[in-house]
Amino acid sequence: MSLDLRNYRVESTLKSGNKVIVRAVRSEDAQRLAKYFQEMTPESRYLRFLGFRNSFTARELEYITHPNFLEHATIVATLADGRLDEEIVGEASYISAADGRNADCALSVLDGQRHQGVGALLLEHVVRLAEHWGVKQLSADVLGSNRVALEFLVRRGFRPLLVSCGIHRLFRPLSRVGGRHGAQHSPAPDASSWPELQRTEDEFSIASASV
């Protein structure tokens, strides 16, 4: 039943007018993901994976491209510009804790494709998928020096939880009622009808995030 979301696919138009597809990762995406990883700058890889990485291992690619959505899932953003092969320009994933109430998420967008709303779109879809499975809280680990990502997340409802070894753990409570068992009987979220992404403006200052 958890395979309902394998065909998850939503096309969106960015503010620039460019069209982007956000969809569940597929088994045949291994090469595209490997290429994406190579196209990331070393700095972006470091920020995304919190350490030096040169490539995904074959085992990691196997894991990433075979999500069960309940415990782990990866979604990708690809350009919908008519080219023969889709190019992945962003990815986001979540891994659920054993109790199903908490999930860690992380995301990245290729440097040349940033500031168009791809990251925000990916995050919003991760939130919806996690809510669908009854996750009550999303967390994200971000290097303290990564002000861009910290501000990006705080502006989208994440709050600082703790800081350890220079890594900030932020969390965002989720609201929708869902559940591992209930979700099996409810339809997959109809992402095409979701409202346009709302940018969350609030008074929270990132300056206080290091508390």
122 in the Ramachandran plot: left (φ > 0), alpha (ψ -120 to 50) or beta?
Answer: alpha
Q: Rule CB under 6 A: say whether 117 interacts with ligand COA.
A: yes
Share of the chain residues as helix, strand and coil, in percent rounded to the nearest 5 = 35, 25, 40
Work out how close the CB of 179 gets to ligand COA at its nearest, in angstroms, rounded to a whole number. 26
- Binding of residue 33 to ligand COA (CB under 6 A): no
Q: Does residue 109 belong to the site contacting ligand COA (CB under 6 A)?
A: yes
Q: Which stretch binds ligand COA (CB under 6 A): 68-76, 115-123, 128-136, 171-179?
A: 115-123
Tell me: does residue 159 bind ligand COA (CB under 6 A).
no
Q: Which string of x and - marks every residue 3-22 that binds ligand COA (by CB under 6 A)? A: ------------xx------
- What are the CA-CA distances from residue 109 to residues 6, 117, 182, 185 (Å)? 22, 10, 33, 33
Contact indicator for 160, 170 with CB cutoff of 8 Å = yes
Q: What is the dihedral of CA 129, 135, 138, 141, to 10 degrees?
A: -100
Would you give the distance in Å from CA 36 to the centre of its chain? Answer: 15
Nearest approach, Cβ of residue 24 and ligand COA (Å) = 19
**Residue with smallest beta-carbon separation from ligand COA:** 119
Position among 107, 126, 130, 209 found at the interface with ligand COA (CB under 6 A): 107
| φ, ψ for residue 55, nearest 5 deg | -165, 165
Query: Which spans of this chain sit near ligand COA (rule: CB under 6 A)?
Result: 15-16, 44, 47-48, 106-109, 114-120, 140, 142, 146, 148-149, 151-152, 155
